[in-house]
Amino acid sequence: MASPSTNWPIGQHKARNRERRPSSDVEKILQQYLTAEEEAQIHRQFEKACPRHRQVLWSGMDQNQAQRWADDHHMQTLKMAMGPLMNPEHPQCLQHRKTKKAWSKYIHGASAAFAWYISGRDVVTVLLHPPPIRFNPFGATYYQTIEEPIITGKTGGRNVRRIEVVHPAVPEATDFAYQMWPVDQADRQTKASKVES
Give, for all 197 residues of the chain, the pLDDT tens digit: 333 233 333 333 333 433 568 999 999 999 999 999 999 999 999 999 999 889 999 998 899 999 999 999 999 999 999 999 999 999 999 999 999 999 999 999 999 999 999 998 999 999 998 887 787 777 788 999 999 999 999 999 999 999 999 999 899 989 999 999 999 888 765 555 554 54
pTM score: 0.84
pLDDT value at residue 4: 29
For residue 66, CA distances in Å to 4, 12, 26, 37, 59 come to 33, 35, 25, 29, 9
Residue 3 counted as domain residue: no
Q: Which pLDDT score is estimated for 134?
A: 81
pLDDT value of position 182: 95
Q: What is the pLDDT of residue 137?
A: 72
What pLDDT score was predicted for residue 47?
Answer: 94
Upstream peptide bond of 132 is cis (omega within 30 degrees of 0): yes
Q: What is the pLDDT of residue 108?
A: 97
pLDDT value of position 183: 94
In a domain, 5, yes or no: no
Does residue 187 belong to any structural domain of this protein? yes
- Please tell me the predicted confidence (pLDDT) of residue 132: 78
Please report the pLDDT score of residue 76 as a whole number: 96
Which of the 8 DSSP states describes residue 141?
A: S
Q: For residues 65 and 134, what is the distance between their CA atoms, to the nearest angstrom?
A: 16
What whole-number distance in Å separates Cα of residue 175 and Cα of residue 162? 17
Q: How many domains does the chain have?
A: 1
Distance separating alpha carbons of residues 193 and 183, to the nearest angstrom: 19
Task: Give the range of the structural domain holding residue 133, as residue numbers without chain letter.
Answer: 14-196
107 assigned to some structural domain: yes
Task: Report pLDDT for 126.
Answer: 97
Virtual CA dihedral for 109, 157, 20, 143, nearest 10 degrees? 30
DSSP string, 152-191: BTTTTS-B-SEEEEE-TTSGGGTT--EEEESS--HHHHHH
Question: How far is 169 from 142, CA to CA, in rounded Å?
Answer: 20
In this predicted structure, what is the pLDDT of residue 20? 62
Give the per-residue pLDDT at 143. Answer: 94
Q: What is the predicted pLDDT for the residue at 72?
A: 96
Residue 102 resides in a domain? yes
Q: Helices 100-118 and 36-49: crossing angle, nearest 10°?
A: 50
Helix (H, G, I), strand (E, B) or coil at 20: helix
